Amino acid sequence: MRYRRFYLLSSVIALTAIWAFHSKQSPDRKNEQPNILVVLCDDLGYNDVGFNGSKDIPTPALDKLAKNGTIFSSAYVAHPFCGPSRTSLMTGRYAHKIGAQFNLPPNSETIGEGVPLSETFISTVLQKSGYKTGIIGKWHLGAIQKYHPNNRGFDEFYGFLGGGHNYHPEQFKAAYKKQKEKGTEVIFEYLLPLEHNGKEVDETEYLTDAFSREAVRFINNTAQKKNPFFLYLSYNAPHTPLEGKKEDLEKFMHIKDEKRRNYAAMVYAVDRGVDQITKALEANGQLENTLIIFLSDNGGRTDAGANNFPLRESKGSTCEGGYRVPMFFHWPGKVPAGETFNFPVSTLDFYPTFAALAKANVPKGKLLDGKNIWEDFLHKTNSHENQNIYVLRHREGYTDVGIRNNEWKALKTNQNNWKLYNLNKDIGENQDLSHENPELLKSMVKEGEKWSRSHSQPRWFHDEQTGIEWLTAQMPHFDQTFRID
């Protein structure tokens, strides 16, 4: 009897220990390391989502997440073009500092270039910290094997390697087949087959719907594992070509402008996909522990249907419309609901912020240009108080620059003199205050000139002619760029 009581007591202790071990390992780990989902659109306008004021493009799924989260009114990407912008998101560095300040050219496999391997991507940092990592959609950071997503910290990749793609499979597959039969050696990347982890796939769905489907698949698969996930859902919508889905176009027949109608349909398809993804997170019990970030990679193209109101200009510009983007954070119980964060933040901040939330180790010696904004965000304080947020875009023989510091913006465009704006009072950059604040402008431009000394020569150009012009003009001429007349 004594032995039986001892056996029963030992069994209870053992079972209790096992229960304690498993309860500690699974739920606590999830709480310590949140899922991170970045939903990135391509060329989405500042005013083209309901939560930022759109009247003609309904985005109910995005609006619901934004309403239950925090909207960022002053969110910036680090470059007004997609390739360098995405480079900065992945590396935590201004693309100019690592020679990636231009878009990779179409079919970049022909030049064999990509974001330097010396840069550890945030995906690698999270992967090494136990995350299941995935990218779905557009890559645009290098098309040959050593720059492939699966070699840059992503367990899963479904999408395309270049800078863009056509949307209707029946169209791009037929065009690809025709080029293949003709013996064309380099077929335009917008027509190439999609791939899954390096293997071609026969996609049959409208591209945006296909990427949403794959995001749901990734979420469902990772729900069966104990590991948290990092998913980079990189839509190419609403980037050109403007190819809305027939069913979506029918919802926007009241929009007379054909470009705007197609554009609206493409944004609507993204919203539909986000709704499916949100429902998958809910069904798997993961919504409560998932930080969702939604944004665009740069400003919208107003010549291709986008609306950046009330911002000035569009994609490619160092005015606000080129790189200030719609963005929100959503995380139930962790991100304040129904609020707007008005202080400036940058996608350069994602890398250190994600690493901190994941309790991940950033490699020793890894240089970062952003900062962990999480505590300042929660306390509604400015992480970049009295610090500059830069944007710089090279043009033919000259350079455009924007420098934001608190409410102030120093701006140089089209070889005009430097100007100064108070963005809190003048978001449209209409009233130049440089004559009233000459010393402030001088100080900001001087700091910009100092920052430019950290830049590297471009490793590639988006086309051959730009490279020739760069060499002929002996660019970058920063001595002229940062001169105040």
Each residue's pLDDT tens digit, 31-41: 579 999 999 99
Whole-number pLDDT of residue 485: 82
Asked if residue 5 has pLDDT above 90, the reply is no
Whole-number pLDDT of residue 292: 99
319 an active-site residue?
Answer: no
Q: Which of 14-18, 47-51, 135-139, 284-288 has the lowest mean pLDDT?
A: 14-18
Using pLDDT thresholds of 50, 70 and 90, give the confidence band for residue 225: confident
Which residues neighbour 305 within 8 Å (Cβ) at sequence distance 6 or greater? 238, 242, 257, 259, 260, 261, 262, 263, 264
Asked if residue 17 has pLDDT above 90, the reply is no
Asked if residue 23 has pLDDT above 50, the reply is no
The residue ranges of every structural domain in the chain are: 33-378, 388-481
Whole-number pLDDT of residue 37: 98
The one-letter code for the residue type at 34 is P
pLDDT tens digits, one per residue of 250-272: 999 999 999 999 999 999 999 99
Residue identified by tokens 């919203």 is 271
29 phi, psi to nearest 5 deg: -60, -45
Distance (Å, whole) CA 343 – CA 423:
11
Residue identified by tokens 């231009």 is 102
Using pLDDT thresholds of 50, 70 and 90, give the confidence band for residue 480: very high
pLDDT tens digits, one per residue of 401-412: 999 999 999 999
**Common-topology check for domains 33-378 and 388-481:** no
Average pLDDT score over the chain: 94
* Active-site option among 82, 96, 239, 394: 82
Whole-number pLDDT of residue 9: 34
C-alpha dist (Å) from residue 388 to 27, 59, 78, 277: 40, 33, 12, 36
196 an active-site residue?
Answer: no
At the fourth CATH level, the homologous superfamily of domain 33-378 is: Alkaline Phosphatase, subunit A (3.40.720.10)
* Active-site option among 41, 79, 96, 140: 140
CATH of segment(s) 388-481: 3.30.1120.10
Whole-number pLDDT of residue 325: 98
Distance (Å, whole) CA 352 – CA 332:
21
Whole-number pLDDT of residue 310: 98
pLDDT tens digits, one per residue of 126-152: 999 999 999 999 999 999 999 999 999
Asked if residue 328 has pLDDT above 70, the reply is yes
